Amino acid sequence: MRDVCVIGLGLIGGSLLRAAAASGRTAWGAAVSEVDADAASRAGFDVTTDVEAALHRAAAEDAMVVLAVPLPAVEDLLRLVNQHASHCLLTDVTSVKAPVLDAVRRRVPYTRYVGGHPMAGTSKSGWLAGDASLFQGAAWVVAVEEDTDLEAWAEVAKLVLDVGAHVVPLPAESHDEAVARISHLPHLLAAILATIGAEGGPLAMSLAAGSYRDGTRVAGSNPQLVRAMTEGNRDALLPIVDEALGRLGAARGSLASTGGLAATINAGYEGAQALAASLDVERAGVRISLAAPDARQGLIALGERGGRITGLTDGIATGEVQ
Amino acid sequence: MRDVCVIGLGLIGGSLLRAAAASGRTAWGAAVSEVDADAASRAGFDVTTDVEAALHRAAAEDAMVVLAVPLPAVEDLLRLVNQHASHCLLTDVTSVKAPVLDAVRRRVPYTRYVGGHPMAGTSKSGWLAGDASLFQGAAWVVAVEEDTDLEAWAEVAKLVLDVGAHVVPLPAESHDEAVARISHLPHLLAAILATIGAEGGPLAMSLAAGSYRDGTRVAGSNPQLVRAMTEGNRDALLPIVDEALGRLGAARGSLASTGGLAATINAGYEGAQALAASLDVERAGVRISLAAPDARQGLIALGERGGRITGLTDGIATGEVQ
């Protein structure tokens, strides 16, 4: 099993360092944040605030390098990767994939890069919020592009499986469009709801119950991280925000004119059933040989249909799809 | 302690019947829904599908009548109340207060009516979803208008305290404005989010994680009940929807032009802190004598400042406010 070097020890990077170590890998990390690095060190992990030293060691050991910093810090970090570990197998956990892919192609053209994004998190951030079990049962996108090196892809996928997640193979663009819907729009709507609720003052807060707590929970997330992911996905997010504006405007018009909200509320109810059904659906087993000439297309088709890879042995990916 | 007659045995009415009985009161109920009435009867409660008989008994026993039906059914039920129990102490648990107050004044002019609304619920509905402990720790608005009979108010407040909730005294209009912010807008945004998420198909559903699950949870509520409460609060809800449209449009404009979402996300973060702070705030004790000439104003001022009544003995309401 290849060693793992995690750069960035916040919620995701810190959880991955713990989980990789727990799975039996040799794993070390680095964080610019002294708070995170100190806490990780006190917890017995092999970490440093010297990012260059950690990358140098990764090059010497031919380790896999995992970028676990927020999107705005990725470009600078890639410059260091190019200086110190330009031939290492590289992946990341950033919440937007096309901009990172683009930056890697510009900054570290000779690396073997496979983008990644675990669909796990809490509204907390930092090392202390992390947990080796954070990824258990979570979806983790491992990006497949037309030119993806499938040996590198399999190594990243194996790490993902080792830490308890399942692999969703997708091109960067498909990932970014989907997360605009199911992660970035939720964060925007939560922020707007929390703003409008708080404007109601102590009275409104005194009546806030389940629907408000649920609807605003992620508004309590670190605002810099939320900005990084939403602003970083601008191209995919704009049309989704437009769709929300259109639907909210239609609801407004209907309420004002006919007094009815049936179309809005019934569509939402059906949407909620779609999520419930997707958790419950009967799934068929699939096997994809990574040596097959159409392996990339097979992986992408699986991901696009909502499927997942749950095992990987001897070049054969096994999984399930509805 | 006055007997309690609950009409409507869904989630809220069914939970109230259980909780009132558990608190030692004589309590009976009626439901048009045979499913709910059968289930309640099998659980050992004193219930019938004959609403008129239940109201007739309420008149004979001088019981408190609780309307626990959705808003669209209130007018018809008030006709029956006027026929069979027109002098009973009357309250309700409907999620909108001004329209019910208006209907009561038109349909049952001689009743002593005190509006109520427990801020508790789940996305489930029906008798089987109910629970005697549903109201523990919940806010329950008990309406105070300029002409409210404070003896009647105290009786309704006592029932609320007996079932484990605290009392928030508010005029109907203040209630309706606040719930537009912290309950009805959350339901609308959840419906829109669930619609847009589901349009992303199985792929989007396969990546949905905490932010999407939290943000769409109430979209799974019974759509007829959600329509009843949102459409029933049209006057208060329209300006709140306009505010959401304005804020979402501003976010869209900022993302498209400067690429930034700082204003939206920072305001949301501060709003989330306001909710957290309201749960945590230091509160001072208050005492309000219901016999004082300005008791109504004192109660309303308490509610408007986010305060609550937690005890009621010998005409003295005790509570706390920040």
Q: Are strands B284-289 and B316-321 parallel, antiparallel or unpaired?
A: antiparallel
User: Regarding predicted confidence, which is higher, A175 or B281?
Assistant: A175
Q: Which of A100, A138, A154, A121 is nearest to A308 (CA)?
A: A138
B86 and B180, same domain (yes or no)? no
Q: What is the pLDDT of residue B124?
A: 84
Output the CA angle B219-A251-B220, nearest 5 degrees: 10
Residues A41 and A90 occupy one common structural domain = yes
Q: Which of B175, B190, B207 sits opposite A182 (nearest CB)?
A: B207
Mean pLDDT of A46-50: 97
* Paired tokens of B310: 């937690």
Query: With 80 as the cut, is the pLDDT of residue B123 above it?
Result: no
In terms of domains, do B34 and B132 share one? yes
Q: How many domains does chain A have?
A: 2
Please tell me whether residues A139 and A84 are part of one structural domain: yes
- Lowest-pLDDT range of A114-123, A241-250, B72-81, B302-311: A114-123
A302 within a domain of the structure (yes/no): no
**pLDDT value at residue B93:** 97
Categorize the per-residue pLDDT at A121 as very low, low, confident or very high, splitting at 50, 70 and 90.
confident
- For range A234-246, the mean pLDDT: 98
For residues A208 and A254, membership in a common domain is answered with yes
Q: Is residue A293 part of a domain?
A: no
Whether the predicted pLDDT of A238 surpasses 90:
yes
Closest C-alpha among B98, B140, B101, B103 to residue B119? B140
Within this chain, do residues A11 and A152 fall inside the same structural domain, yes or no? yes
Pair A153, A226 in one domain: no
pLDDT at position B304, please?
A: 97
The predicted model gives B27-39 an average pLDDT of 95
By Cβ distance, the residue of B199, B223, B262 closest to A266 is B223
Does A123 have pLDDT greater than 80? no
Sequence-distant (≥ 6) Cβ neighbours of residue A160 within 8 angstroms: A116, A118, A135, A140, A142, A166, A167
Q: Which residues of A touch B276 (CB under 8 A)?
A: 220
Residue of A141, A166, A181, A321 to mutate when probing chain B, most B C-beta within 10 A:
A181
pLDDT of residue A201: 96
- Determine the residue of chain B that is closest to A184 in CA distance: B211
Q: Is residue A134 in some structural domain?
A: yes
Query: Taking residues A122-126, what's their average pLDDT?
Result: 83
Average pLDDT over residues B134-146: 97
What's the pLDDT at A289?
97
Q: What is the pLDDT of residue A48?
A: 97
CB-CB under 8 Å, B238 with A207: no
Q: Are residues B274 and B157 in the same domain?
A: no
For residues A43 and A70, state if they share a domain.
Answer: yes
Looking at residue A281, its pLDDT comes to 87
Q: How confident is the model at residue B44 (pLDDT cuts 50, 70, 90)?
A: very high
- Tokens read off for A220: 């309590």
- Mutation target to probe the B interface, by most B beta carbons within 10 A, among A175, A261, A279 is A261
A202 and B305 within 8 Å at the Cβ level: the answer is: yes
Please, which residues have CB within 8 angstroms of residue A290's CB and are 6 or more apart in sequence?
Answer: A150, A151, A153, A154, A315, A316, A317
CATH number, position B224 = 1.10.3660.10
Would an 8 Å CB–CB cutoff place B128 in contact with chain A?
no
Considering only CB atoms, B189 lies closest to which of A199, A215, A267, namely A215
Q: Are B159 and B118 in contact (CB under 8 A)?
A: no
Q: Which amino acid is at A108?
A: V
- Residue A108: predicted pLDDT: 94
* Token representation of residue B173: 């209009």
CB contact under 8 A, A186 and B269: no
Query: Would residue A89 count as lying in a domain?
Result: yes
Q: For chains A and B, what is the number of CB pairs under 8 angstroms?
A: 383
> Among B269, B309, B320, which would you mutate to test the A interface (most chain A Cβ atoms within 10 Å of its Cβ)?
B269
Residues of A in contact with B261 (CB under 8 A): 188, 226-227, 230-231
Interface contact flag, A215 B190, Cβ < 8 Å: yes
* Residue A122 pLDDT level (bands cut at 50, 70, 90): confident
- pLDDT interval class at B127 (50, 70, 90): very high
- Report helix, strand or coil for A170: strand
Is A1 an interface residue toward B (CB < 8 Å)? no
Whole-angstrom Cα distance, residue A162 to residue B109?
70
Which tens digits make up the pLDDT trace of B198-220? Answer: 999 999 999 999 999 999 999 99
The answer on pLDDT for B279 being more than 90 is: no
Q: Say whether both B146 and B183 belong to one domain.
A: no
What is the pLDDT, as a whole number, of residue A280? 86
Residue B131 contacts A, CB cutoff 8 Å: no
> Is A267 within a domain?
yes
Residue-averaged pLDDT of chain B: 96
DSSP string, B66-104: EE-S-GGGHHHHHHHHHHH-TTSEEEE--S-SHHHHHHH
**Residue B122's pLDDT is what?**
76
Task: With cut-offs at 50, 70 and 90, classify the pLDDT of residue B108.
Answer: very high
Beta bridge partners of A64: A4, A89
Say whether A216 and B251 touch across the interface (CB within 8 A). no
Beta bridge partners of residue A46, listed in sequence order = none
Is there a single domain that holds both residue B128 and residue B163?
yes
Give A110's pLDDT tier (boundaries 50, 70, 90): confident
Is the pLDDT at A232 greater than 90, yes or no? yes
Separation in Å, CA of B55 to nearest CA in chain A: 31
B304: contact with A, CB 8 A cutoff: yes
pLDDT-based confidence at residue B281 (cuts at 50, 70, 90): confident
We report the CATH number of the domain holding residue B306 as: 3.40.50.720
- Is residue B151 scored above 90 in pLDDT? yes
Q: Which domain holds residue B190?
A: 176-279
**pLDDT value of residue B103:** 97
Residues A185-198 have pLDDT tens digits of 999 999 999 999 99
Inform me whether the pLDDT recorded for B34 exceeds 90: yes
Mean pLDDT of A175-181: 98
Scanning B139-158 for CB atoms below 8 A from A yields 139, 141
For residues B198 and B70, membership in a common domain is answered with no
